[in-house]
């Protein structure tokens, strides 16, 4: 059975634009600026992006005219992570929700068409970067504005799809593969399956500095040598360090339990505790990574 090939060359199929105008389902980011306050605002065809829909009973997601071509998907990714993400007219959580939904639709088009090209790898790498970065940027936000578990679910699913394409595609030797293999390992820090996957990679990949360092961090984490793990994290490239730092709450909790037992009848020096916590990635440092490195 041959794969379905999309024929839509825009960020959103014309059929969907008409439907969403009629049903008043346009997002404020998608309407014409001159009519955005009207009761039935019109769509700005240059800003409307296909939204994610769940596969309901009787609903087909396999209509070629509703599936975007690879160039259209790349154009969508560039628009979302270049133009929309820098929009300052809306709160950050609104921007995040919009991009997250539209990226789900991108992933859906990739899966339905069974795309495995180098362009597909670029698309999924961009999605992973967005969710990895968002996980760190919004970790302090209340659950009403940002759901870390849902974001991590999207990150994990996209990573697994990306790694599967790496292993099966002729484009497996993408020059960024090592970074994303490392993100998978660090996102699942200490996980036996993730470590086994990394150790089974070709030798030329395992010996690259990012992946070797990520493996050392994961092994230190498993051995509960948290001080070494944290110090090694500081040597990672910034995005990888941001992903690894998401495990600091787990590390701090385990360290606190160990210390409570070891120093049951003694005082633990406050300066030592502060020094340990200062190993965490600082928000000021992350400002250098102010734009997605896609």
pLDDT number for residue 58:
43
What predicted TM-score, i.e. pTM, was given to this entire model?
A: 0.86
- Of 267 and 288, which is predicted with more confidence? 267
Confidence band, pLDDT 50/70/90 cuts, at residue 266: low
pLDDT number for residue 290:
38
> Residues 95-109: pLDDT tens digits?
999 999 999 999 999
Mean of the per-residue pLDDT values for the chain? Answer: 85
Mean pLDDT of 250-264: 73
Q: Give alpha helix (H) positions in 169-208.
A: 177-187, 192-199, 203-206
User: How many CB atoms are located within 10 Å of the residue 173 CB?
Assistant: 11
Q: How many Cα atoms within 13 Å fall on the side-chain side of residue 138? A: 24
Percent of the chain with pLDDT over 90: 58
For residue 277, pLDDT over 80 is answered with no
- Of 178 and 54, which is predicted with more confidence? 178
Confidence band, pLDDT 50/70/90 cuts, at residue 270: low
End-to-end alpha-carbon separation of the chain, Å? 34
For residue 198, pLDDT over 60 is answered with yes
Q: What is the DSSP string of 120-169?
A: HHHHHHHHHHHHHHHHHHTTTS-TTT--HHHHHHHHHHHHHHHHHHHHHS
> Residues 215-247: pLDDT tens digits?
999 999 999 898 899 889 989 998 999 899 888
């Amino acid at each position: 059975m041959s794969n379905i090939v999309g024929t839509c060359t825009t960020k959103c199929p014309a059929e969907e634009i008409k439907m969403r105008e009629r049903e008043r389902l346009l997002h404020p980011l998608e309407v014409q600026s001159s009519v955005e306050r009207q009761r039935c605002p019109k769509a700005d065809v240059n800003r409307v992006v296909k939204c994610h829909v769940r596969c309901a009973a009787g609903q087909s997601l396999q209509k070629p005219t509703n599936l975007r071509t690879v160039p259209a998907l790349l154009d969508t990714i560039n628009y979302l992570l270049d133009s929309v993400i820098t929009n300052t007219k809306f709160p950050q959580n609104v921007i995040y929700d919009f991009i997250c939904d539209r990226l789900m639709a991108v992933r859906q088009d990739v899966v339905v068409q069974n795309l495995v090209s180098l362009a597909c790898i670029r698309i999924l790498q961009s999605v992973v970067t967005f969710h990895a970065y968002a996980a760190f940027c919004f970790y302090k936000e209340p659950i009403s504005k940002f759901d870390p578990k849902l974001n991590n679910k999207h990150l994990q699913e996209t990573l697994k799809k990306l790694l599967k394409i790496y292993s099966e595609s002729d484009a497996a030797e993408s020059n960024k593969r090592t970074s994303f293999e490392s993100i998978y390992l660090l996102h699942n820090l200490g996980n036996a399956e993730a470590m086994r996957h990394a150790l089974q990679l070709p030798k030329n990949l395992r010996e690259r500095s990012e992946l070797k360092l990520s493996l050392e961090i994961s092994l230190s984490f498993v051995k509960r040598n948290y001080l070494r793990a944290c110090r090694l994290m500081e040597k990672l490239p910034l995005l990888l360090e941001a992903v690894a730092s998401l495990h600091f709450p787990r590390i701090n909790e385990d360290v606190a339990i160990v210390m409570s037992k070891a120093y049951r009848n003694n005082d633990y020096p406050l300066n030592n505790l502060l020094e340990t916590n200062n190993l965490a990635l600082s928000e000021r440092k992350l400002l250098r990574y102010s734009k997605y490195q896609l």
